[in-house]
Structure 1
């Protein structure tokens, strides 16, 4: 994870502990009385829905995910068969409410997770941990005290029933211990409800007292003999089972989930299904809300858009040559038409065209089916003939087209030797530039937000899951209205979005000069792909498999026993108790750390950690990369074709999937071997060109600080220069430790890090961390002024801007809740730098692509964009000439008050070139 990957925190992740609220709502007296006219209890359903609605009101820009316990036993029952053995079975009148509640939540469009073998707490812990790794702010909505162990500077709790929030200070105020001590606290007290054994007669005050004196459970146990009286006897008697109690109370942070946190997004609300369920269970308030929303065509939640009149539609399904010819003539003479393809796959390299649709006027659209092959499908026009007729129109740059995510259609058409030209607008990008966080940018969400239209959803006609049909299997009675609507809605959206962009000069420039032309650049990169040495990866996988097996045996021999190498708890027992290795660092929860950096340091002097480091690295490498990358190679081209996404990150950063190029490992030797499989064609080499410290340079430009500007202008190492200033040390006498601390300050300030956060990162006191920050601002006062001015401006406008005018909206910048407001303030400081860096690399790509297009040969291809790096495949004879030109184009893509520096390397593979 690099600094550039961190996700802005203006849209917090909201994790709802559905099971906790379900039980609590069930026991609320007035809710217990609620039921349908036919006797179905609905109190728990009503209570949970009220809590969700409260969260939606309090966190209008939050991404809400609801998590419930699964049926059956969990891994804790395997650890301790008596776990929760005393709990009575779930009452029938509560059990009957679970399935309806799940169905209603799904109809609301909210992601719902129920994972077998673990508890909801573990799923929530894992999602919160993943979110923290991405720099996302997380709110856990729960009434469960166990969740306090998850609180960090980026994770807080809220009890929706009592409206109480807990941050780190709040946890200490409530429980008398820090979040990292909560597991120890719970283990000491035990839990009668869950049947977790603790120390007899040890209540909250005693547990807190012991932990404040001794910090950790382990140290409490070590000092048990000093505890006087009866409670001391109880403590000593409990020692044998306290490690088990600790393990039972520990929330897992590594549950194997079917989806990663960044992919969990709200879907479009299924209004019909929701209304059906609301009526079935006689939920009057929900019925009223759904019907009211269905009647309203006012689009955005802000109420800024005017209500648009309903549009009468006339959709045609073209099955005859005459009808098709008529539409072809219309397209030829149209000033602009909306265009869309229907295909068999989301993978553009494998997708086959099933049909095409067009719209020239709002409400009028046509679908031309070309490949529906279900039983009794009607005769359709010949695909080859239709595409041949359309080709000159689609390739005519003077005939303007608009589409929704036209890059995909451009790639699909390329498979049929059609080079889509004349892309004048793209509604996905228009919406994204206008406001990247107001709504998702898929067509269904945009139609609902800007037009107040509930479109036909693909799942409505194709079904869901393993039984979902591909488009060629869908009957024309359903397929034609869906496809024609796509074109019609796209045109209608464009008419609204284009009008808004026209009134915003900077945003219109971002759209017309960056995002829209970049779409075609990315399409060319995707189509060309990256060459992968599959034989090298296959051999590497075999070597890894053998080495992993041997490593396990060697680890067991050194440890003197077999154990689960993936279990931090068991690893702690082996390393720190059995082998008595030194504790170099502790986890936030106070346990001896088994993190990678700790094992790496221990590995210098101890053989077991060295083997474990190798085992971990090789296992991840094999499972994530060497096994998977060869399966992504396209059989037709022999190359891997990623998909770049322009409308995901709020800051304008590009991302990629299948594979995710941003996460190809680079920090370890083993990881870099994966990059060695990214190779060039015979006679060509890989060239990688990377911006150096671009966000720090942008900070210098934005703040105008003389000290920073001078350091960069003189070509100094900025971290060494900062260390020299902050620690009043001659630049040639700066120590490695001073430079490391300065680097942490430089990057920490960019991401709004507090003194508390800096103290944790550098493992120093908060006082010392604050002193470092004060010294930094004394030396670079304009940075502090910039940060303060940015916060003020963000509060006034509700957004911040990049150097080039891209807006980064902050919905919670004026939130009454202090934590949410501070999260938005941190994002306000960071977003202009991330966003400007995104704009710069995009402008560089456009400049380089334009230069490449002017070359008469085919000696250079731009093949990848990763963070602040561009990767090329260049003919050997042109390496030096073209590398020099690339560096010049990238360094001069924009003009800032500091020089942009690009470093470029050459190699047979990506690793050599980086």
Structure 2
């Protein structure tokens, strides 16, 4: 917390002792032979037990001096619930996963065959194209009369040729089949649960949590994968998700009048943006997709060219760079507070701060100057919610959190407890976030089912 954003220092006990207590520790003993006399070893272990106490006093004073006591209280309050989730794990349906992994491999083979049909002998001298090779893909398109400077997904999304969407689909399918195939099942414990490592300040610079072994926060949103995370018989998963939370936080930080009015009156901001940008009253599903690409793409300062690629890649919205530029101009005329926020970002290296008081030092990238206060405030609110879940755990005995995914908390409970669990998690999430973004209302979408995917 004190040094968030400083990538030049470490936080092992040896480094902490040197930095905050002026002590030089010899850490060679752990690798020594512990089978003989342990006199020196006991002294070593005793010192390692004593040092955190001395460090605690020292760090508490430094946190107070830096104005970070509240941030420390947020982290301390969330710790029991984060441990709760880690020790309980989440239920898993192995059979469904295996069937999905097999289907994913078939899809990869089919897409590869389709590519070879659309671009026969396009790749190299031997007529065999490695569609995962930059050189082969560049050569393949050159033989089709298209010069590519880049072969990434954004470049392909903007390309008007029948091979491009198939190649994008092939790459996405191959990545999923490779990352989430049968090999992934090594993470499933004998009791048919997955016990991930939740790192409470894993994304230390922003304050967001991270997850590893396995990383459940990056699991694809595709129901094919999420439905494999399921409650055991007689139990259900209650899923609670903050709605548009980063946009709501941005409305509070920037004070943009149009955004604030929309949220206060219960408008859907994506619909509001679509109406303003397109100049129409009746908004279609496609119009709303366009608005999503603008709201999320422009929030942190994306330019016209990047916006066009982002809209195509993430929302399936085709825009020319000129169209993206026009929509971008209209967007910022609609939300002048956002434009003022962007233009008010100071040059050089700065220190950012969340609504909860969490700081990040040494911030130089423009996008990080914008997104760190927003995402960090979201992290503060979620962790405050976790603390409240733990504090009020008697309201729903037998229920516990199993997944913590940035703006979402998933709780497992008995089937008969669905209503109580929904009220419990909704209340904690609302009360945790509301003080940070008042007067912007907090909206939480809650649903329940046997699995994470439905």
The answer, yes or no, to whether TM exceeds 0.5 is yes
CA 1:484–1:683: 2 relative to 1, 3 Å:
same
TM-score by length of 1: 0.43
Paired residue secondary structure (1:688): strand
1:732 aligned onto 2:292 = no
Q: Is the 8 A contact 1:525 1:862 kept in 2?
A: yes
Unaligned runs of at least 5 residues, structure 2 = 122-126, 312-318
CA 1:539–1:803: 2 relative to 1, 3 Å:
same
After superposition, the C-alpha distances for 1:751-771 in whole angstroms (9 at most, x for unaligned) are 2334564466566457x7666
Q: Alpha-carbon deviation of 1:496?
A: 1.3
CA 1:476–1:536: 2 relative to 1, 3 Å:
farther
Q: Alpha-carbon deviation of 1:654?
A: 0.4
1:527 aligned onto 2:87 = yes
1:910 aligned onto 2:449 = no
Q: Is the 8 A contact 1:572 1:594 kept in 2?
A: no
CA 1:723–1:799: 2 relative to 1, 3 Å:
same
Q: Is the 8 A contact 1:687 1:904 kept in 2?
A: yes
Higher relative contact order (CA closer than 8 Å, sequence separation 6+): 2
After superposition, the C-alpha distances for 1:2-53 in whole angstroms (9 at most, x for unaligned) are xxxxxxxxxxxxxxxxxxxxxxxxxxxxxxxxxxxxxxxxxxxxxxxxxxxx
Paired residue secondary structure (2:68): helix
CA 1:547–1:769: 2 relative to 1, 3 Å:
closer
Corresponding residue number in structure 2 for 1:642:
196
Corresponding residue number in structure 1 for 2:45:
483
2:300 equivalent among 751, 767, 792: 751
Q: Alpha-carbon deviation of 1:866?
A: 0.7
Corresponding residue number in structure 1 for 2:402:
863
Q: Is the 8 A contact 2:243 2:443 kept in 1?
A: yes
Query: Following the alignment from structure 2 to structure 1, what is the Cα–Cα distance between the partners of residues 367 and 165?
Result: 37
Q: Alpha-carbon deviation of 1:622?
A: 3.2
Q: Alpha-carbon deviation of 1:545?
A: 4.7
Q: Alpha-carbon deviation of 1:678?
A: 0.8
Q: Alpha-carbon deviation of 1:710?
A: 1.1
CA 1:456–1:562: 2 relative to 1, 3 Å:
same
1:804 aligned onto 2:356 = yes
Q: Alpha-carbon deviation of 1:897?
A: 1.4
Max radius of gyration: which structure?
1
Q: What pairs with 1:362-761 in structure 2 (closer than 5 Å)?
A: 432=1, 434-438=2-6, 439-457=9-27, 460-461=28-29, 476=38, 479-504=41-66, 506-512=67-73, 514-545=74-105, 548=108, 556=116, 559=120, 561-574=127-140, 577=143, 590-591=149-150, 593=151, 595=153, 598=156, 610=166, 615-635=170-190, 637-649=191-203, 650-666=205-221, 671-727=222-278, 729-732=279-282, 736=286, 739=288, 742-754=291-303, 757-758=306-307, 761=310
Q: Alpha-carbon deviation of 1:874?
A: 2.0
User: How many aligned residue pairs are there?
Assistant: 435
Q: Is the 8 A contact 2:299 2:338 kept in 1?
A: no
CA 1:528–1:549: 2 relative to 1, 3 Å:
same
Q: Is the 8 A contact 1:461 1:474 kept in 2?
A: no
Q: Alpha-carbon deviation of 1:834?
A: 1.0
Paired residue secondary structure (2:11): coil
Paired residue secondary structure (1:873): strand
The RMSD of aligned alpha carbons is 3.6
Q: Is the 8 A contact 1:864 1:870 kept in 2?
A: yes
CA 1:451–1:770: 2 relative to 1, 3 Å:
farther
After superposition, the C-alpha distances for 1:241-297 in whole angstroms (9 at most, x for unaligned) are xxxxxxxxxxxxxxxxxxxxxxxxxxxxxxxxxxxxxxxxxxxxxxxxxxxxxxxxx
Query: Following the alignment from structure 2 to structure 1, what is the Cα–Cα distance between the partners of residues 36 and 143?
Result: 63
Paired residue secondary structure (2:76): helix
Q: Alpha-carbon deviation of 1:529?
A: 0.5
Q: What pairs with 1:69-80 in structure 2 (closer than 5 Å)?
A: none
CA 1:773–1:544: 2 relative to 1, 3 Å:
closer
TM-score by length of 2: 0.82
Query: Following the alignment from structure 2 to structure 1, what is the Cα–Cα distance between the partners of residues 158 and 95?
Result: 31
Q: Is the 8 A contact 1:518 1:842 kept in 2?
A: yes
Paired residue secondary structure (2:4): coil
Query: Following the alignment from structure 1 to structure 2, what is the Cα–Cα distance between the partners of residues 832 and 609?
Result: 36
Query: Following the alignment from structure 1 to structure 2, what is the Cα–Cα distance between the partners of residues 496 and 638?
Result: 43
Q: Is the 8 A contact 1:686 1:874 kept in 2?
A: yes
Q: Alpha-carbon deviation of 1:440?
A: 3.1
Query: Following the alignment from structure 1 to structure 2, what is the Cα–Cα distance between the partners of residues 598 and 615?
Result: 12
Q: Alpha-carbon deviation of 1:684?
A: 0.9
